[in-house]
A and B are shown apart, each in its own frame.
Chain A
Amino acid sequence: MAMKDFTNASDVCWQDVELGAVVTTPGSASVRRTGDWRTERPILDKEKCIKCGLCWLHCPDAAITPLDDGYFEPDLFHCKGCGICAAICPKKAITMLEEVEQ
């Protein structure tokens, strides 16, 4: 196996290590579920949304996905719940809702 086949450090054997430990798969760290970090999640009210894109633009985590219909959807797998999108939205169309344990 090669290092590029792994996403978990503890699975890599010495034989798998790439030359110079170079990581050759761009963006492979996106497997990490940083959504586990959050204590609040963004909820979008489509009625108020004007599709300005500012939430998408200001997300530090690229955790807002542009949809074909022009709306934007939080990527809950990655969203850390920082609340910047809610703070920046000019129409207050996003509210942060506390995550409750399932």
Chain B
Amino acid sequence: MAPEFVKVGKYNIDAKEYLAEGHTFCTGCGEALAIRLVCKALGENTIISMATGCDEVCSSPLPVTSWRLPWMHTLFENASAGVSGMEAGLKAMMRKGKVPERDIKFVAMGGDGGTSDIGLQSLSGALERGHDFLYVCWDNEAYMNTGIQRSSATPYGAATTTAPAGKLSMGQNTQKKNMVEICAAHDIPYVATACPSYPFDLMNKIKKGSEVKGPAYVHVLTPCPTGWRTPSNFTIEIGKLAVETGIFPLYEIENGHYRFTVTPNTLKPVEQYLKAQGRFRHLSPGEIAKIQKHVDEGYATLKAKMAAFPAA
């Protein structure tokens, strides 16, 4: 008999596997773990609108599916537009008495490509229109599914196939697009960063985001052994290092008020994070110092925002 929940520490976690075992995500995939945990936090009264990407390709091979939740995938750039129609359409049907009223969580999901590049417009539109939905971004920092091509979420210095390290290039020469601030600028009630290396933090934020009335956005850093060139068993550790170095701080913005949810006492040097990944192996000490400086400045700015707009 399958248990209804599994006790992990003080938490009772939904035992149901909404992303079925037997999917084709890579060995040690951070995104697969994130999807698994996110769905447990959402529960069965959820309808998903998913963008093309690892998330969709590895989970839906005709004639079978890994999904144990109602799920729709159509195109790459429109997960947010799709969920807008789902939410508005079903709510209209409930209001008109065509279907019974009930609580359903409408969730759009997409990778960094489908979110910050090709999907940015439809995301912005859905946020601005105020649909009651949660958007979850799986950020593995490149178009991983099509073979590790750069995205606007690829961090400075990372090598990808379309911004490779070479004689004339040090890889990505732009800074990661700040999706969190972009979404917060839409004045939505809830924005957060998360990482499956901190599973309870992630699940709490998903629960919060899915329960808030109006649009919510959770940006999840999902380590990718294949694209980041890390060992498959290092996924949790590398996610922790991203947080512990200040490269990917874990925080929430609730109605414009900032709050760290994981606060490292002292930040580890970024070198620990960078040196552990093959995609950064070409970086010179000078480049690493540059990255350290940028992270320090970014973290300081974030702390200033925490101070200026503190959570209640």
Interface residue ranges, A against B (CB under 8 Å): 3-4, 6-9, 12, 21, 23, 25-34, 37-38, 52-54, 56-63, 66, 68, 75, 77-78, 80-84, 86-88, 96
Which residues of chain B have C-beta atoms less than 8 A from A83's C-beta? 28, 231-233
Stretch with Cβ within 8 A of A (4 or more), from B30-38, B103-111, B298-306:
B30-38
Contact A66 B65 (CB under 8 A): no
Inter-chain CA distance A61–B23, complex, in Å, is: 7
- Residue on B with the closest CB to A51? B7
Q: How far is the CB of B170 from chain A (nearest CB, A)?
A: 30
Q: Please provide the chain B residues from 172 to 210 with a CB less than 8 Å away from any CB of chain A in the complex.
A: 196, 199
Main secondary structure on A side of the interface with B: loop
Contact B63 A61 (CB under 8 A): no
Inter-chain CA distance A25–B6, complex, in Å, is: 25
Inter-chain CA distance A81–B233, complex, in Å, is: 9
Q: How far is the CB of A52 from chain B (nearest CB, A)?
A: 7
Inter-chain CA distance A56–B59, complex, in Å, is: 20
A/B interface sample: 19 pairs, CB < 8 A: A12-B63, A21-B63, A23-B60, A25-B64, A26-B67, A29-B23, A29-B61, A29-B65, A30-B66, A32-B22, A34-B21, A53-B9, A57-B6, A58-B33, A60-B28, A66-B3, A82-B27, A82-B28, A84-B233
Which residues of chain B have C-beta atoms less than 8 A from A63's C-beta? 21
Q: How far is the CB of A76 from chain B (nearest CB, A)?
A: 11
Which residues of chain B have C-beta atoms less than 8 A from A30's C-beta? 20-22, 66
Inter-chain CA distance A84–B48, complex, in Å, is: 27
* Other-chain residue from B6, B8, B21, B231 in contact with A78 (beta carbon distance below 8 A): B21
Contact B235 A60 (CB under 8 A): yes
* Other-chain residue from A4, A9, A61 in contact with B32 (beta carbon distance below 8 A): A61
Q: Please provide the chain B residues from 203 to 246 with a CB less than 8 Å away from any CB of chain A in the complex.
A: 225, 231-237
Interface size classification for chain B: 35 or more
Say yes or no for B29: interface residue by CB 8 A criterion: yes
Inter-chain CA distance A38–B232, complex, in Å, is: 11
* Other-chain residue from B22, B28, B236 in contact with A34 (beta carbon distance below 8 A): B22
- Residue on A with the closest CB to B23? A29
What are the 4 closest A-B residue pairs judged by CB atoms, nearest first?
A83-B233, A27-B20, A82-B28, A53-B8
Contact A9 B23 (CB under 8 A): no
Which residues of chain B have C-beta atoms less than 8 A from A78's C-beta? 21-22
Which residues of chain A have C-beta atoms less than 8 A from B22's C-beta? 29-34, 61, 78
Interface residue ranges, B against A (CB under 8 Å): 1, 3, 6-9, 13, 15, 17, 19-25, 27-30, 32-33, 36-37, 59-69, 196, 199, 225, 231-237
Inter-chain CA distance A32–B233, complex, in Å, is: 22
Contact B237 A56 (CB under 8 A): no
Which residues of chain B have C-beta atoms less than 8 A from A32's C-beta? 22-24, 64
- Residue on A with the closest CB to B35? A60
Which residues of chain B have C-beta atoms less than 8 A from A96's C-beta? 233
Contact B62 A84 (CB under 8 A): no
Which residues of chain B have C-beta atoms less than 8 A from A26's C-beta? 20, 65, 67-69
Contact A53 B27 (CB under 8 A): no
Contact B20 A29 (CB under 8 A): yes
Inter-chain CA distance A4–B233, complex, in Å, is: 35
Q: How far is the CB of B156 from chain A (nearest CB, A)?
A: 27
With A53-B13, A60-B32 known, 14 other A-B pairs at CB within 8 A are A26-B65, A26-B69, A27-B20, A29-B59, A30-B21, A32-B24, A53-B6, A54-B8, A61-B23, A61-B25, A62-B21, A75-B21, A82-B233, A87-B233
Inter-chain CA distance A65–B198, complex, in Å, is: 21
Q: How far is the CB of B16 from chain A (nearest CB, A)?
A: 10
